[in-house]
Amino acid sequence: MASTERWIVTGATGFVGGRLASLAPGARVPLSLSPDDWRSRMASLDYRSATVFHLAARVHAHGGDESAWTRDNVEKTAELARAAAAGGARRFVFLSTIKVNGEETRGRPFRAIDEPRPEDAYARSKWAAERELAAIAKASGLEYTVVRSPLVIGPAAPANLAALVRLADSPWPLPFASIANRRTFIARDDLVSLLARCAASPQSAGRTFLAGDPDAVSTPRLLSVVRGALARAPRLFTLPTGLLESAGSMLGQGSRMRRLTRSLEVDCRDVIETLGWAPGRAIDDALREMAFAAKGAR
């Protein structure tokens, strides 16, 4: 692992960033990019020989205006990369999203060499940030690594996963028994270990990796595991996928329903073979831990 004495972590209070920063208590330098004075904060840091982990990002909608996405996810990434390069940072590790590749897979998993097909403002901004980072690194000699992550599982997981746990904890039968999709997730501790490995390994310089657990999960399996952890029976029944998606669209939840019915699978072999990294625990155990934590928090 790279020396933790000179880590600079943006998003250090977030779901993943907080866990990453905790690996170096007393030695990390948290960097907030949310206040109006983020440029002065960025310029005031000592980057000499530091590893910069850039995890801070806008992930939620801001109306129909993409300027906020550009400011927070593209401009701030570029400014931080320039500051890191000028200050003598040893490496820049950028957490991106699998949504750069697209919203779903059909027939085979996503690979890092696939042509990006971002579909929403968040994914477009992260793809633009990746390109800005690559250009700055080429011009300055800054070493960098990009990690595109799928949905991250862990205690107190936010947003969609929190909603899924609430759905699983309902007493109602759920109409997902016949769905045969494949979705890749990653446990938070496994993503953190991968980010640290990217900081340390010479083989990661200049590379883009797709993160994920190689054990892809179907929606029926996911719900059954989570419901089991919550001491509930699976209680799944069958409805045609087309009917589920049509109902979701009619209720204004089309994209959320498609995440339950369709596949988004990642080919993780490149990062496993290149860096010698592997998940540290079974994905079902990570799902159970997430469910236990959510239940205990209520």
Half-sphere exposure of 26 (CA within 13 A, CB side): 0
Model pLDDT, residue 3: 46
Model pLDDT, residue 24: 67
Residue with tokens 């401009």: 75
As beta bridge partners, residue 176 has: 238
- Would you list the domain boundaries of the chain? 4-153+185-214+264-280
In tens digits, the chain (298 residues) has pLDDT values of 444 468 899 888 888 988 998 886 544 566 666 767 788 888 888 899 899 999 988 887 655 578 888 888 999 999 999 999 999 999 999 999 999 999 999 989 999 999 999 999 999 999 999 999 999 999 999 999 999 999 999 887 877 788 888 888 888 999 999 999 999 999 999 999 999 999 999 999 999 999 999 999 999 999 999 999 999 999 999 999 999 989 999 989 888 899 999 999 999 999 999 999 999 989 999 999 998 887 755 5
Overall CATH class of domain 4-153+185-214+264-280: alpha beta
Residue with tokens 């719900």: 223
Residue with tokens 């779903």: 104
Query: Phi, psi (5° rounding) for residue 16?
Result: -90, -45
Angle value at C-alpha 137, between 42 and 43, nearest 5 degrees: 10
**Which residues, 6 or more positions from 13, have their beta carbon under 8 angstroms from its beta carbon?**
30, 32
The whole-model pTM stands at: 0.91
* DSSP at 63: T
* DSSP at 267: -
Model pLDDT, residue 136: 97
Model pLDDT, residue 153: 92
**Which residues, 6 or more positions from 246, have their beta carbon under 8 angstroms from its beta carbon?**
none
Model pLDDT, residue 69: 86
Q: For residues 62, 97, 36 and 27, what is the CA-based torsion angle, rounded to 10 degrees?
A: 150
